[in-house]
Structure 1
Amino acid sequence: MMTAGQRMTALLQDMVQDRQRYITLKNLLEEQRTLLLERNSEQLSRVNLELMEIYQQLTDCAATRQQSLQTLGFSADKAGLQQFIERLPQQHQGKISALWEDLQRNAELCQQLNERNGMVLHMQRQIMENVSQASEPADWIY
């Protein structure tokens, strides 16, 4: 069983690791976009596996963070994490608050990149559907 101090330390270490995971995720999402545009299915498969692994790690870490916050007596949400930061010693609050804000910014950026990649994939699918339907005489456009 972890003490409150150990749980706090683990929670902060998880945040540092998640920050790094989001940086890796950002790079992979940018690579995924390039590979989508190049239609490089072999490398795309590799990147997609790496993405799924990072998504799982982020999901697991978020669940652990929520559980840690609840165990420490805080709500398992952004407000609870903010309260946790406010209860840290004054000399650590700024650094941990900046870490949390950076983690959130990286998560939002990754979400935008993922949505952008989804649009590329959707457009490619539409093009392929149009090409496959164009072989039918009734669908020819003059």
Structure 2
Amino acid sequence: MTRRDKLLQLVESDIQQDCSDYLVLRGLMQTLYGYLLERDNSQIDLVNREISALVDAIAIRADRRTKVLAAFGFEPGLAGMASLLVHFSGLRGEHLQQTWQQLGQLAAQCKRLNERNGKLLAMHNDILSQLLGGLDSAQLYTQQGY
């Protein structure tokens, strides 16, 4: 097997693994939302650790793809990946192209779920700030013990 073939096989494997991991990540993001609603801090911490591990693994593979693109003389990004995917022929190429598109859709879904979770956290923060701010001003007008 040539170096070129090994690199192409690595890209194919990484894209398939990313799809699997993004499916798991999507589920974890949905689970996290439920725990955020319940304010279950111990479960939030557990899920966040799982999310962090997945995101780290995905980032490593993305970095590796960038290096493969450079090895083939392509620019990093979508255009470079489109050029690289041309090197896969027949059914293998069609399948990988579909998997790449699915990966993009999964990444977009995870991004939306992350934004939704972030909005919920921001809302919690606003509510806590209002409550704590309200307590401070309420104490200002109560009888002092001095």
> Normalized against structure 2, the TM-score is what?
0.90
1:132 Cα shift?
Answer: 0.8
Q: Structure 1 CA distance, aligned partners of 2:6 and 2:131?
A: 59
Mind listing any 5+ residue stretches in structure 2 that lack a counterpart?
142-146
1:115 correspondence with 2:115: yes
Structure 1: runs of 5+ lacking an equivalent: none
Q: How far 1:89 moved relative to its partner?
A: 1.4
Q: CA contact under 8 A between 1:133 and 1:139: conserved in structure 2? A: no
Q: How many residues align?
A: 139
Mapped to 2, the partners of 1:91 and 1:125 lie a distance apart of 50
- The match for 1:19 is 19
Name the SS of the counterpart of 1:134 in structure 2: helix
Letter in 2 for 1:137: A
- Residues 83-134 of structure 1, C-alpha deviations (whole Å, 9 max, x = no match): 1112321332211110000000000000000000000000001001111111
Amino acid at match of 1:80: G
Counterparts of 1:1-142 in structure 2, within 5 Å, are 3-135=3-135, 136-137=137-138
The root-mean-square deviation of aligned C-alpha atoms, in Å, is 1.7
Identity %: 24
State the alpha-carbon separation in 2 of the partners of residues 113 and 139 from structure 1: 41
What CA distance in whole angstroms lies between the structure 2 residues aligned with 1:138 and 1:111?
Answer: 42
> 1-side partners of 2:107 and 2:44: how far apart?
22
Report the more deviating stretch, 83-92 or 9-18: 83-92
1:76 partner SS: coil
TM-score (norm 1): 0.92
Structure ID, larger Rg: 2
The one-letter code of the counterpart of 1:106 is L
Describe the shift of the 1:139–1:18 C-alpha distance in structure 2 as closer, same or farther (beyond 3 A). Answer: farther
**Shift, 1:138, TM fit:** 8.5
Q: Post-superposition shift, 1:139?
A: 9.0
